[in-house]
Each structure stands twice: as C-alpha cells, then as structure tokens.
Amino acid sequence: GVGMIAAGQCDVVVAGGVELMSDVPIRHSRKMRKTMLTLNRAKSLGQKLSLISKIRPDYFTPELPAVAEFSTSETMGHSADRLAAAFGVSRLEQDEYALRSHTLAKKAQDEGLLQDVVPFKVPGKDTVTKDNGIRPSSMEQMGKLKPAFVKPYGTVTAANSSFLTDGASAMLIMSEEKALAMGYKPKAYLRDFVYVSQDPKDQLLLGPTYATPKVLEKAGLSLSDIDVFEFHEAFAGQILANLKAMDSDWFAQNYMGRKSKVGAPPLDKFNTWGGSLSLGHPFGATGCRLVITAAHRLKKEGGQYGLVAACAAGGQGHAMIVELYPQ
C-alpha cells in the first residue's frame, strides 16, 4: 500500500487481512482429486463409469489440515523445534517466555491498552468484545504438556506456540498531506521497510534476524534508537532463537555476511503488551496488529521509533520502522 502511494498510483489505501482458522478447507486425497478432475473431462457415460469404477475406499481419506510450509511440506512446528534445538533454547526458557507473553497481554487488557478491538457478533454465540485467547497459566501446568510436534524429545508444546484463531484487521494508509487535507490526524509514519528471504528448510523462522539490521541501516538508525519492538511470536522457541541469533557475532559473520551482530532487543522494550502467543495468530490479520500496537505503544510510552518484524512462509522475513506522529 505504501509502495502504491509512493509511486503515485493511489492516494488512499485500506490494507488488511482476514483468517478463518476455525473453518479451514479440508482437501480430498491427491488420488481422489486427480480422479475428480479427470472425471470432469470425461465426455461419454462409459468413460465416466470407467473412472468411477477405479475409485477405492482409501481415496476418501481426507488430507488433514496442517500449518505446513509449501516448499518443504514440513509443519512449521517441526521447524520451530529444530530451530530451538539448533540455538540451544530449552523447554524451560520457552515456557517462561510464553508465560511472559500471556501475563503482559492480560495486564495490557486489564489496563484498557488493547482498545482497538472492534466487537463482533458471532452467529449463534455471544458478541466477542476482546481477545479471548489470553490465558496466563503457571510453569507447573505448562510443564505437564507433552511435545506437540517432535515426539517425545521436542520442546515445542501447545502452551509455548501461537494458537490458531479467527481474526480480521484493517488500517488506513495515506500520505501526510492527504491525511491532513481530509481532516485526519495520523497515528504514525511508516518510515522504512524491507523484505528478506532465506532457506525455508533450515531458516524458515529467522526472518526478523535477517531483516532487522537491513531496515536499521536503510533508516540510518541503530538498535539503541528504537523505543518499541513488536515482533511476531509464532513460537516461543522461534522468538528466543531469533534473539540469540541477533546477539551472535558468529551467526552474523558465518550466515549473514556481516562483520558483527546487530544485537538483541532489550526485553523491557519488547512485546510488552503481549504478542501472538497470547493474542493469537490469524495469519492474514497479524501484520496490521503488530504495526498498530507499535504505534499505540509509542504514543503511550512517549517513544519516537518502533521496529516491527515478522517471519513468514517461504523463508521470508520483514521489518519496518514506525515513527510516532508529532502529538
């Protein structure tokens, strides 16, 4: 959207996304899909009956839904488990971080800081007025859960992963001149952004590590200039692995072609109103939430610059600099 405005193609853009994880499509097996497509092209009754006669009971077994990487067919949870193991992130560290996310989200919700949620009437159910996935637990309860992906030795569980949820988001983007002419007061500037991509097999979830130093250099800023960090929390292990990678000279030199590390964001500035682990991750809607949360935190905390980053399917990564609009 910002690119279209900068290119003069648009004056005003509404950018948003929606995800309905409670009603995901369930596909037929590959054999059944192939038969149905061939059946659709059959011209005579005889050809159709011949194809139908070849259908076997196992053709009707559906492909169960999974959050899988298209290029590797690997479930993202497996990627998170391998990433956590590669960076030595323990189960205890992951559970502690997940508990932090839920605790901070509950505190922010109780203090009325998550005020941009629009009430929605679910047909046949109550109206949803606030995020309902925030569930602070205890280390003891979280410790009882078994590994969700790599069994029995994995460290990624349901408690330290972002849960699948329904959600939608939208934001209004325009140039400062256009906003003021229309009588709007902007919340924040989008100063700079970058996209990166890595090997989706081994570095699927390391997008923030690769994108952060690039966007800082592009904006002429250093890590210490950033007042607010909002990173997408796909898994606690993914976040902690990124923080360790960002704080490693060895990783910067051997994998990123850099002389030194960019450094890890300080946790007192990092996702302090909770994150995807506690607020949920409706894929298409998370990006707007990250950006708007950064803008709201800058206003609340009196900061100037926010850094938003996320990993994505295909080994992609993204980072952007958000600057508070003068109050």
Of 309, 304, 301, nearest in space to 188 by CA: 304
Do 16 and 49 belong together in one domain? no
Q: How many independent structural domains does the chain possess? A: 2
Check if the beta carbon of residue 209 is closer than 8 Å to that of residue 198.
no
Query: Is residue 47, in this structure, part of any structural domain at all?
Result: yes
Q: Are residues 36 and 97 in the same domain?
A: no
- Residue 68, in any domain of the structure: no
CATH of the domain at 4: 3.40.47.10
Domain end marker among 63, 86, 117: 63
Q: Which residue has the tokens 């990993």?
A: 311
pLDDT of residue 182: 96
Same domain, 110 and 259: yes
Does 229 map to a domain? yes
Query: Are 83 and 52 in a shared domain?
Result: no
List C-alpha distances in Å: 180 to 174, 185, 186, 289, 324: 10, 6, 8, 24, 16
Please write the tens of the pLDDT for every residue from 113-131: 998 999 999 888 899 999 9
Note whether 139 and 220 are same-domain residues: yes
Nearest to 159 by CA among 277, 286, 283, 22: 277
Residue span of the structural domain in which 315 resides:
1-20+73-324
Backbone angles phi, psi at 213, to 5 degrees: -65, -30
Tens digits of residue pLDDT in 9-21:
999 999 999 998 8
pLDDT digits (tens, 9 = 90+) for 214-266: 999 999 999 999 999 999 999 999 999 999 999 999 999 999 999 999 999 99
52 occurs within a structural domain: yes
246 occurs within a structural domain = yes
Does residue 42 sit in the same domain as residue 151? no
Do both 260 and 284 map to the same domain? yes
Percent of the chain with pLDDT over 90: 80
Q: What is the pLDDT of residues 66-107, one digit of tens each?
A: 777 777 777 888 899 999 999 999 999 999 999 999 999 999
Quick check: 266 and 286 in contact, CB under 8 A?
A: no
Q: What is the C-alpha to C-alpha distance for residues 289 and 323, in angstroms, rounded to an integer? A: 16
- Local structure of residue 57 (DSSP, 8 states): G
CA gap 88, 75 in Å, rounded: 20
Determine the Cα–Cα distance for residues 218 and 320; give it in Å rounded to an integer: 10
Q: Are residues 120 and 45 in the same domain?
A: no
pLDDT band at 305 (very low <50, low <70, confident <90, very high): very high
- 9 and 34, same domain (yes or no): no
